[in-house]
């Protein structure tokens, strides 16, 4: 089971349509899925011009020390993806603001992580749009 983290706290997963793995999408690129599962090591340029019709993308985070998913989210947004974007896996509460700044709308975490890092820890980082130290240095 998983928990969805948004700016308002924990929520149940409201997506019931499922996700299509990238391999299936690559096998039939003329039929875009409604929702796409991406590994963190996908080359974003391989998706250029192929995002039309996709309303939801979920990006895997295989470990909390693997930041490729943040870069991928940023590149998807720069390529014009405006749909729902979810980080999934080993994202910790300290990374929530970075996830939001890089373009994610929400984070999907295992229930065991939600027990170790309660909602209050995630909500304390929900003011992600507040100026951060890099902006104050300019």
pLDDT tens, residue by residue, 37-96: 999 999 989 999 899 999 999 999 998 788 899 999 999 999 999 999 999 999 999 999
Domain with 55, as residue range(s), is: 2-137
Residue 134 has pLDDT above 60, yes or no: no
CATH number, domain of 7, equals: 3.40.50
Work out the pLDDT band at 33, boundaries 50, 70, 90. very high
Give me the number of domains the chain comprises: 1
- The reported pLDDT for the residue numbered 105 is 96
pLDDT at 130 over 70: no
Percentage of residues of the chain with pLDDT beyond 90: 73
* DSSP string over the chain: -EEEEETTEEE-----S--EEHHHHHH-TTS--SEEEE-TT--GGGGTT--TT--EEEEEESSTT-THHHHHHHHHHHTT--SEEEEEES--GGGHHHHHHHT-SEEEEEHHHHHHS-HHHHHTT--TTS--HHHHH-
Q: Is the pLDDT higher at 49 or at 130?
A: 49
């Amino acid at each position: 089971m998983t928990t969805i983290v948004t700016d308002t706290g924990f929520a149940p997963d409201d997506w019931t349509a499922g996700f299509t793995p990238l391999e299936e999408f690559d096998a039939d690129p003329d039929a875009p899925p409604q929702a796409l599962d991406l590994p963190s090591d996908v080359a974003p340029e391989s998706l250029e011009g192929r995002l039309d019709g996709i309303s939801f993308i979920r990006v895997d985070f295989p470990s909390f020390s693997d930041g490729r998913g943040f870069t991928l989210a940023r590149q998807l947004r720069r390529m014009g993806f405006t749909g729902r974007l979810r980080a999934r896996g080993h994202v910790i509460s300290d990374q929530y603001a970075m996830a939001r700044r890089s373009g994610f709308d929400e984070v999907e975490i295992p229930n065991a992580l939600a027990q170790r890092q309660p909602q209050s820890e995630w909500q304390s980082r929900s003011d992600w749009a507040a100026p951060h130290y890099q902006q104050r240095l300019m």
